[in-house]
Structure 1
Amino acid sequence: MSANALYTDLSGYYDLMCADINYPAQSNGVRRLHQLFGNQGRRHLDLACGTGPHIRHFIDSGYDSCGLDINQPMLDRARQRCPEALFTRQDMASFEFDHPFDLISCFLYSIHYSAGIDKLEACIKRAHNALTQNGVFCFNAVDKNRINNNLYVSHTTEHDDSSFTFRSGWHYCGQGDQQSLKLSIAKTTLEVTESWQDEHAMVALGFDDFDRLLRRYFDVHIFEHDYEKIIPWDGVSGNALFVCVKT
């Protein structure tokens, strides 16, 4: 399959793939961080919004939300989930809106979908320009230097008389600015199993690199990857939440 084939062709399975994600906790966690560090505004943009589950929770919490994604089938599903939100097909590195935002979020490590360091910085710059004063850009990231290539996460769920097993893991070769997210789906129906494999190329940075890049534009705070607690990053763990304030 091509680099984005699974994401595109199996978009109907995306919500099943993410069935173990605690969307309320993630959305509420970022909302709390915005309340602590932001300007109390309610205009929200979600980058790489997928089928819109995070946006649903932000709207229900009183935000005026928009979402963007490069994948039209994902956006079609997002519009069904959140008909009151504005969704647009745009690239994170070149997006434009005719009004500013108070909060820009990017969940599920999607910041890494930037095609190289230059594209990542373009995304960061776009986010900065799109925010109001004291607006917040919040995302989660993985440190390339702390990736364990042998570590995978998986879950199994039932749907339409079939059993689905989803498996994903990071891979980094140890040098350069490219890492990959390896994905697989196994679908079993009446004891017959079909399998799909895919690998998404993603930009790779260490957290020191992220921090240096972000500080050109933002006041940066790094926290442990825990949406239910606000704990400063310990400098060791390989996953973190970045809270970037436009000052």
Structure 2
Amino acid sequence: MQPSTKLYTDLSGYYDLMCADINYPEQSSGVRRLNQLFGNGGRSHLDLACGTGPHIWHFLDSGYQSQGLDINQPMLDKAKVRCPEAEFTLGDIGSFAFDQPFDLITCLLYSIHYSSDIARLKSCINSVHDALQTKGVFCFNAVDKNKINNNLFVNHTAEHQDGAFKFSSGWHYRGYGEQQSLKLCITKTTHNVSETWKDEHPMVALGFDELAQLLEPCFEVHIFEHDYGKIEPWDGQSGNALFVCVKA
């Protein structure tokens, strides 16, 4: 098994606990508002790196025809239980194709960075472009490599029938090159006995200017502050942002 997928397969049963502090309703609602503003009015939707399908669940509930793609079958198995009416495809966001084009493609929770390098990210962008209808929208969030604080970690705890969990995650960028990593740590404590899993996911690193340059040959690019409850232009300073890309 590849180290980069260990936590998402062996511990896929705990993935929703790991993401328990994410406001999926707000994120899904915010993306739908952006799609209404910039899109073609259609409701066919593909969620890349969909995980266990929480975003898809909210899109379906709002009348979208949603389906998901993920590289990990254990995640898709759980997504199918959560959203039995949706279709799910095992595949890589770096290279995919569908018979029918979509009106909206999302890639949330910074999953755009799962591309291993710039060449793979370009392939992902081209695949998205080919899979979109005219005036279709590609919406994702990203982190600017130049703004990463290697000492900043996000932590939260959760209770489960298997025990008490502590989750920690943080970005790391060495200061040069086109790779960054996401460091993850899970500690499970049951009856005062603790187990810890650590993993580090290699991801593509680039600044927002570089990212916009990659997107602009294929899309009209809009960059917003990383706030799903508001629609505000990116201030040019913050290291997290929402990208809304419209296919010409």
TM-score range, shorter chain: over 0.9
Match of 1:34 in 2: 35
Does residue 18 of structure 1 match 2:19? yes
**2:186 maps to what in 1?**
185
In the alignment, structure 1 residue 172 sits paired with structure 2 residue 173:
yes
**Unaligned segments of structure 2, at least 5 residues:** none
Once residues 161 and 10 of structure 1 are traced to their aligned partners in structure 2, the CA distance between those partners, rounded to angstroms, is 12
Q: Give, in whole Å, the separation in 2 of the partners of 1:151 and 1:216.
A: 34
Amino acid at match of 1:18: C
Query: Quick one: which amino acid aligns to residue 81 of structure 1?
Result: R
Letter in 1 for 2:174: C
Q: CA deviation at 1:190?
A: 1.0
Q: State the superposition RMSD in angstroms.
A: 0.8
CA change 1:213–1:100 in 2 (3 A) is same
**Counterpart for residue 151 of structure 1:** 152
Aligned to 2:56: 55
Q: What is aligned with 2:237?
A: 236
Deviation string 1:29-80 (CA, Å, 9 cap, x unpaired) is: 0000000000010100000000000000000000000100000000000000
Q: Where does residue 221 of structure 2 map in the other structure? A: 220
Match in the other structure for 1:45: 46
TM-superposed CA distance for 1:161, in Å, is: 5.3
1:124 paired residue number: 125
d(CA) in 1 for partners of 2:58, 2:124: 24
CA offset digits 1:97-125 (Å, max 9, x no partner): 11000000001000000111011011111
Residue 245 of structure 1: aligned partner: 246
Counterpart-to-counterpart distance in 1, 2:162 and 2:195: 14
Q: What is the TM-score of this pair, normalised by structure 1?
A: 0.99
Q: 2-side partners of 1:58 and 1:78: how far apart? A: 13
2:8 and 2:75 in contact (8 A); partners too:
no
Alignment TM-score, normalising by the size of structure 2: 0.98
Give the match for residue 8 of structure 1.
Answer: 9
Distance 1:52 1:3 in 2: 20
Name the amino acid aligned to 2:212.
D
Q: Give the aligned partner of residue 141 of structure 1.
A: 142
Residue aligning to 1:104? 105
Separation of aligned partners in 1, 2:122 and 2:162: 45
The letter of the residue matching 2:118 is I
Q: What's the secondary structure of 1:57's corresponding residue?
A: helix
Letter in 2 for 1:157: A
Runs (4+) off by over 2 Å: none
**Identity of aligned pairs, percent?**
71
Q: Quote the offset at 1:3 in angstroms.
A: 2.3
| Aligned residues of 2:221 and 2:245 also touching (Cα < 8 A) | yes
In 2, Cα distance between equivalents of 1:185 and 1:31: 32
Deviation at 1:235, TM superposition (A): 0.3
Other structure's SS at 1:24 match: helix
Matches within 5 A, 1:83-94: 83-94=84-95
Q: For residues 192 and 62 of structure 1, what CA distance do their matches in structure 2 show?
A: 45
For residues 146-185 of structure 1, give each alpha carbon's deviation from its aligned partner in whole angstroms, at most 9, with x where no partner exists. 0000000010010005110000000000000000000000
Q: 2: CA distance between counterparts of 1:106 and 1:117?
A: 17
Report how many aligned residue pairs link the two structures. Answer: 247
The within-5 A match list for 1:60-71 is: 60-71=61-72
The SS at the match of 2:31 is: helix
